Amino acid sequence: MKLFPSHLFGADKLPSWGVHLVDGQIDTSHGPILYLEDISVSFDGFKALNNLSLYIDNGELRCLIGPNGAGKTTLLDVITGKTRPDIGSVFFGQTIDLLKMDEPAIAQAGICRKFQKPSIFDALTVFENLELALKTNRTTWYTLFHRLNSEQHDRINHIINTIGLSDCHQLRAGFLSHGQKQWLEIGMLLMQEPKVMLVDEPIAGMTHQEIERTAELLLSLQGQHSIIVVEHDMEFIRSIASKVTVLHEGSVLTEGTMDEIQNDPRVIQVYLGG
Ligand code: ADP
Ligand code: MG
Protein backbone atom coordinates (compact mmCIF):
# COMPACT_ATOMS: atom_id res chain seq x y z
CA MET A 1 0.00 0.00 0.00
CA LYS A 2 1.25 3.45 -0.87
CA LEU A 3 1.27 5.72 2.11
CA PHE A 4 0.85 8.84 -0.03
CA PRO A 5 -0.78 7.89 -3.36
CA SER A 6 0.77 10.07 -6.03
CA HIS A 7 -2.58 11.10 -7.53
CA LEU A 8 -3.46 12.64 -4.17
CA PHE A 9 -0.05 14.01 -3.30
CA GLY A 10 1.50 14.97 -6.64
CA ALA A 11 4.18 17.63 -6.51
CA ASP A 12 1.91 20.11 -8.27
CA LYS A 13 -0.57 19.88 -5.41
CA LEU A 14 1.97 20.68 -2.73
CA PRO A 15 1.72 24.05 -1.07
CA SER A 16 4.67 26.29 -1.92
CA TRP A 17 5.31 28.18 1.26
CA GLY A 18 8.54 29.64 2.59
CA VAL A 19 10.92 31.21 0.13
CA HIS A 20 8.41 31.68 -2.66
CA LEU A 21 5.76 33.16 -0.44
CA VAL A 22 8.09 35.74 1.05
CA ASP A 23 9.93 36.42 -2.21
CA GLY A 24 7.13 38.48 -3.65
CA GLN A 25 6.98 40.60 -0.54
CA ILE A 26 10.57 41.84 -0.47
CA ASP A 27 10.23 45.49 -1.33
CA THR A 28 13.45 46.68 -2.98
CA SER A 29 11.80 49.53 -4.87
CA HIS A 30 14.07 52.09 -3.18
CA GLY A 31 17.23 50.16 -4.13
CA PRO A 32 18.49 48.48 -0.97
CA ILE A 33 17.61 44.91 -0.03
CA LEU A 34 19.22 45.19 3.41
CA TYR A 35 18.86 48.15 5.76
CA LEU A 36 20.95 48.12 8.93
CA GLU A 37 20.57 51.26 10.99
CA ASP A 38 22.22 52.42 14.22
CA ILE A 39 23.18 48.89 15.28
CA SER A 40 25.05 48.31 18.52
CA VAL A 41 26.04 44.94 19.97
CA SER A 42 27.77 44.62 23.34
CA PHE A 43 29.55 41.63 24.78
CA ASP A 44 30.11 42.14 28.53
CA GLY A 45 30.19 45.90 28.04
CA PHE A 46 32.53 45.72 25.03
CA LYS A 47 30.95 47.16 21.90
CA ALA A 48 31.58 44.73 19.04
CA LEU A 49 29.32 46.87 16.86
CA ASN A 50 28.94 50.56 17.61
CA ASN A 51 26.18 52.59 16.01
CA LEU A 52 26.71 50.90 12.66
CA SER A 53 24.61 51.68 9.59
CA LEU A 54 24.89 49.82 6.31
CA TYR A 55 22.76 49.55 3.17
CA ILE A 56 23.16 46.78 0.61
CA ASP A 57 21.58 47.28 -2.80
CA ASN A 58 19.50 44.63 -4.49
CA GLY A 59 21.85 42.49 -6.59
CA GLU A 60 25.09 44.10 -5.52
CA LEU A 61 28.31 42.37 -4.58
CA ARG A 62 29.67 44.18 -1.52
CA CYS A 63 33.06 43.55 0.01
CA LEU A 64 33.51 43.98 3.72
CA ILE A 65 37.02 44.41 5.08
CA GLY A 66 38.57 45.53 8.33
CA PRO A 67 41.21 44.47 10.82
CA ASN A 68 40.70 41.52 13.15
CA GLY A 69 38.08 42.28 15.75
CA ALA A 70 36.48 45.05 13.67
CA GLY A 71 33.08 43.35 13.97
CA LYS A 72 32.71 41.74 10.53
CA THR A 73 31.54 38.34 11.75
CA THR A 74 29.30 39.94 14.37
CA LEU A 75 27.69 41.96 11.59
CA LEU A 76 26.90 38.79 9.65
CA ASP A 77 25.57 37.25 12.87
CA VAL A 78 23.17 40.19 13.27
CA ILE A 79 21.86 39.83 9.71
CA THR A 80 21.24 36.09 10.08
CA GLY A 81 19.58 36.45 13.49
CA LYS A 82 22.30 34.61 15.41
CA THR A 83 23.08 37.72 17.44
CA ARG A 84 20.51 40.31 18.50
CA PRO A 85 21.59 43.94 18.57
CA ASP A 86 21.05 45.96 21.76
CA ILE A 87 19.62 48.75 19.67
CA GLY A 88 19.08 49.50 16.00
CA SER A 89 16.98 48.11 13.19
CA VAL A 90 17.54 45.48 10.50
CA PHE A 91 15.17 45.34 7.54
CA PHE A 92 15.00 42.97 4.59
CA GLY A 93 13.64 45.15 1.85
CA GLN A 94 11.60 48.02 3.16
CA THR A 95 9.00 46.01 4.99
CA ILE A 96 10.41 42.84 6.56
CA ASP A 97 11.72 43.40 10.09
CA LEU A 98 14.43 40.78 10.61
CA LEU A 99 14.59 41.51 14.34
CA LYS A 100 11.14 39.95 14.65
CA MET A 101 12.28 36.71 13.01
CA ASP A 102 14.38 33.82 14.31
CA GLU A 103 17.34 32.26 12.48
CA PRO A 104 15.39 29.57 10.58
CA ALA A 105 12.74 32.06 9.47
CA ILE A 106 15.42 34.47 8.19
CA ALA A 107 17.10 31.66 6.25
CA GLN A 108 13.76 30.56 4.87
CA ALA A 109 13.02 34.10 3.76
CA GLY A 110 16.10 34.01 1.53
CA ILE A 111 19.15 35.15 3.50
CA CYS A 112 21.75 32.43 3.61
CA ARG A 113 25.30 32.15 4.82
CA LYS A 114 28.26 30.16 3.69
CA PHE A 115 30.45 28.97 6.50
CA GLN A 116 34.09 28.07 5.99
CA LYS A 117 33.68 24.41 6.85
CA PRO A 118 31.54 22.89 4.09
CA SER A 119 28.47 20.96 5.19
CA ILE A 120 28.55 18.69 2.14
CA PHE A 121 28.21 14.91 2.32
CA ASP A 122 31.45 13.22 1.23
CA ALA A 123 29.76 9.91 0.40
CA LEU A 124 27.24 11.49 -1.98
CA THR A 125 28.00 12.65 -5.51
CA VAL A 126 28.04 16.31 -6.50
CA PHE A 127 24.62 15.86 -8.09
CA GLU A 128 23.19 14.07 -5.05
CA ASN A 129 24.44 16.78 -2.69
CA LEU A 130 22.59 19.39 -4.74
CA GLU A 131 19.52 17.17 -4.89
CA LEU A 132 19.57 16.95 -1.11
CA ALA A 133 19.87 20.73 -0.83
CA LEU A 134 16.81 21.08 -3.04
CA LYS A 135 14.83 18.72 -0.87
CA THR A 136 15.84 20.07 2.51
CA ASN A 137 13.94 23.13 1.40
CA ARG A 138 10.73 21.13 1.79
CA THR A 139 8.94 19.09 4.40
CA THR A 140 10.11 15.64 5.42
CA TRP A 141 7.41 13.68 3.66
CA TYR A 142 8.09 15.65 0.51
CA THR A 143 11.75 14.63 0.84
CA LEU A 144 10.86 10.98 1.33
CA PHE A 145 8.31 10.52 -1.41
CA HIS A 146 9.15 13.05 -4.04
CA ARG A 147 10.97 12.17 -7.27
CA LEU A 148 12.83 14.86 -9.17
CA ASN A 149 10.89 16.27 -12.08
CA SER A 150 12.66 17.43 -15.25
CA GLU A 151 12.56 21.07 -14.20
CA GLN A 152 14.38 20.22 -10.97
CA HIS A 153 16.87 18.11 -12.92
CA ASP A 154 17.55 21.08 -15.17
CA ARG A 155 17.99 23.36 -12.21
CA ILE A 156 20.53 21.09 -10.58
CA ASN A 157 22.45 20.83 -13.86
CA HIS A 158 22.32 24.59 -14.28
CA ILE A 159 23.83 25.07 -10.81
CA ILE A 160 26.48 22.42 -11.55
CA ASN A 161 27.49 24.47 -14.61
CA THR A 162 27.46 27.70 -12.62
CA ILE A 163 29.83 26.32 -9.99
CA GLY A 164 32.05 24.76 -12.68
CA LEU A 165 31.66 21.13 -11.62
CA SER A 166 30.03 19.65 -14.72
CA ASP A 167 33.06 17.46 -15.38
CA CYS A 168 32.72 15.79 -12.00
CA HIS A 169 28.99 15.80 -11.25
CA GLN A 170 29.00 12.04 -10.63
CA LEU A 171 32.08 12.17 -8.42
CA ARG A 172 31.65 11.62 -4.70
CA ALA A 173 32.15 14.93 -2.95
CA GLY A 174 34.84 13.41 -0.73
CA PHE A 175 37.13 13.26 -3.77
CA LEU A 176 36.76 16.93 -4.68
CA SER A 177 39.59 19.39 -4.11
CA HIS A 178 39.27 21.92 -1.30
CA GLY A 179 38.22 24.63 -3.73
CA GLN A 180 35.68 22.41 -5.48
CA LYS A 181 34.11 21.57 -2.12
CA GLN A 182 33.70 25.27 -1.41
CA TRP A 183 31.98 25.78 -4.77
CA LEU A 184 29.69 22.82 -4.14
CA GLU A 185 28.77 24.41 -0.84
CA ILE A 186 27.92 27.62 -2.69
CA GLY A 187 25.90 25.52 -5.16
CA MET A 188 23.93 24.00 -2.28
CA LEU A 189 23.08 27.48 -1.05
CA LEU A 190 22.03 28.47 -4.57
CA MET A 191 19.56 25.58 -4.64
CA GLN A 192 17.62 27.47 -1.97
CA GLU A 193 17.32 30.47 -4.33
CA PRO A 194 18.69 32.96 -1.81
CA LYS A 195 18.11 36.69 -2.28
CA VAL A 196 21.10 37.51 -0.06
CA MET A 197 24.25 35.43 0.38
CA LEU A 198 26.76 36.11 3.15
CA VAL A 199 30.20 34.67 2.50
CA ASP A 200 32.84 34.79 5.26
CA GLU A 201 36.43 34.30 4.05
CA PRO A 202 35.65 32.20 0.96
CA ILE A 203 39.20 31.70 -0.35
CA ALA A 204 40.96 30.50 2.79
CA GLY A 205 43.17 27.54 1.87
CA MET A 206 42.59 27.81 -1.88
CA THR A 207 45.20 27.58 -4.63
CA HIS A 208 45.83 30.60 -6.84
CA GLN A 209 43.79 29.08 -9.65
CA GLU A 210 40.91 28.25 -7.30
CA ILE A 211 40.94 31.82 -6.02
CA GLU A 212 40.59 33.17 -9.56
CA ARG A 213 37.76 30.76 -10.26
CA THR A 214 36.00 31.80 -7.04
CA ALA A 215 36.24 35.45 -8.07
CA GLU A 216 34.61 34.60 -11.41
CA LEU A 217 31.88 32.63 -9.66
CA LEU A 218 31.00 35.42 -7.22
CA LEU A 219 31.02 37.98 -10.05
CA SER A 220 28.67 35.79 -12.07
CA LEU A 221 26.22 35.59 -9.15
CA GLN A 222 25.80 39.31 -8.58
CA GLY A 223 22.69 40.77 -10.08
CA GLN A 224 20.55 37.73 -9.35
CA HIS A 225 21.75 37.69 -5.75
CA SER A 226 22.98 40.30 -3.32
CA ILE A 227 26.26 39.11 -1.86
CA ILE A 228 28.35 40.28 1.08
CA VAL A 229 31.89 38.95 0.99
CA VAL A 230 34.17 39.21 4.03
CA GLU A 231 37.79 38.61 3.11
CA HIS A 232 41.31 39.61 4.15
CA ASP A 233 43.05 39.02 0.86
CA MET A 234 43.28 42.45 -0.79
CA GLU A 235 44.28 41.12 -4.20
CA PHE A 236 41.15 38.97 -4.20
CA ILE A 237 38.99 41.88 -3.03
CA ARG A 238 40.39 44.04 -5.80
CA SER A 239 39.49 41.38 -8.36
CA ILE A 240 35.79 41.35 -7.40
CA ALA A 241 35.09 44.69 -5.75
CA SER A 242 32.91 47.47 -6.96
CA LYS A 243 32.07 48.90 -3.55
CA VAL A 244 34.09 48.18 -0.42
CA THR A 245 33.02 48.88 3.16
CA VAL A 246 35.76 49.22 5.77
CA LEU A 247 34.79 48.31 9.32
CA HIS A 248 36.80 49.53 12.27
CA GLU A 249 35.99 49.18 15.97
CA GLY A 250 32.42 48.18 15.21
CA SER A 251 31.56 51.06 12.90
CA VAL A 252 31.79 51.85 9.22
CA LEU A 253 35.05 53.77 8.76
CA THR A 254 34.49 54.47 5.08
CA GLU A 255 33.00 53.09 1.88
CA GLY A 256 34.10 53.39 -1.73
CA THR A 257 35.91 51.81 -4.65
CA MET A 258 39.06 49.82 -3.98
CA ASP A 259 41.21 52.73 -5.20
CA GLU A 260 39.41 55.19 -2.94
CA ILE A 261 39.77 52.85 0.02
CA GLN A 262 43.44 52.16 -0.52
CA ASN A 263 44.29 55.85 -0.77
CA ASP A 264 42.23 56.84 2.27
CA PRO A 265 44.65 57.91 5.05
CA ARG A 266 42.23 56.68 7.75
CA VAL A 267 42.21 53.22 6.20
CA ILE A 268 45.99 53.19 5.87
CA GLN A 269 46.33 54.20 9.49
CA VAL A 270 43.93 51.49 10.71
CA TYR A 271 45.72 48.79 8.74
CA LEU A 272 49.21 49.93 9.63
CA GLY A 273 48.15 50.30 13.25
CA GLY A 274 49.37 53.88 13.37
P1 ADP B 1 35.98 40.23 12.99
O2 ADP B 1 35.13 39.19 12.36
O3 ADP B 1 35.95 41.55 12.27
O4 ADP B 1 37.38 39.79 13.22
P5 ADP B 1 34.25 39.82 15.28
O6 ADP B 1 32.91 40.27 14.85
O7 ADP B 1 34.50 38.36 15.31
O8 ADP B 1 35.38 40.57 14.44
O9 ADP B 1 34.52 40.36 16.75
C10 ADP B 1 34.40 41.72 17.11
C11 ADP B 1 34.79 41.87 18.56
O12 ADP B 1 33.78 41.32 19.37
C13 ADP B 1 36.09 41.18 18.90
O14 ADP B 1 36.80 41.99 19.82
C15 ADP B 1 35.63 39.89 19.56
O16 ADP B 1 36.58 39.48 20.52
C17 ADP B 1 34.33 40.31 20.21
N18 ADP B 1 33.37 39.20 20.27
C19 ADP B 1 32.81 38.60 19.20
N20 ADP B 1 31.94 37.65 19.58
C21 ADP B 1 31.96 37.64 20.94
C22 ADP B 1 31.28 36.89 21.96
N23 ADP B 1 30.39 35.94 21.64
N24 ADP B 1 31.57 37.19 23.24
C25 ADP B 1 32.45 38.13 23.57
N26 ADP B 1 33.12 38.89 22.68
C27 ADP B 1 32.88 38.65 21.38
MG1 MG C 1 35.55 37.26 11.59
**Would residue 260 count as lying in a domain?**
no
How many separate domains does the chain show?
Answer: 1
Residues whose CB falls within 8 Å of the CB of residue 244, separated by 6 or more in sequence, listed in order: 62, 63, 64, 65, 237, 255, 256, 257, 258, 261
* Ion ligand 2: residues, Cβ under 5 Å: 72-73
Would the CB of 195 count as within 6 Å of ligand 1?
no
- Tell whether ligand 1 has an atom less than 6 A from the beta carbon of residue 81: no
Q: Is the pLDDT of residue 46 over 90?
A: yes
User: Using an 8 Å Cβ cutoff, are 227 and 202 in contact?
Assistant: no
Confidence of residue 117 (pLDDT cuts 50, 70, 90): confident
**Nearest protein CA to atom 27 of ligand 1, as residue:** 43
pLDDT tens per residue, range 66-83: 999 999 999 999 999 999
User: What is the whole-number distance in angstroms between the Cα of residue 82 and the centre of ligand 2?
Assistant: 14
Contacts of 2 (CB under 8 A, 6+ apart): none
Query: With a 6 A CB cut-off, is 68 part of the ligand 1 pocket?
Result: yes
Could you tell me the CATH number of the domain that includes residue 178?
Answer: 3.40.50.300
Q: Note down the domain range covering 135.
A: 112-193
Task: For residue 7, give the 3-state DSSP assignment.
Answer: coil
Domain-located, residue 104: no
- Per the CB < 8 A criterion, the answer to whether 129 and 173 are in contact is yes
Of ligand 1's atoms, which has the minimum distance to the CA of residue 70? 3
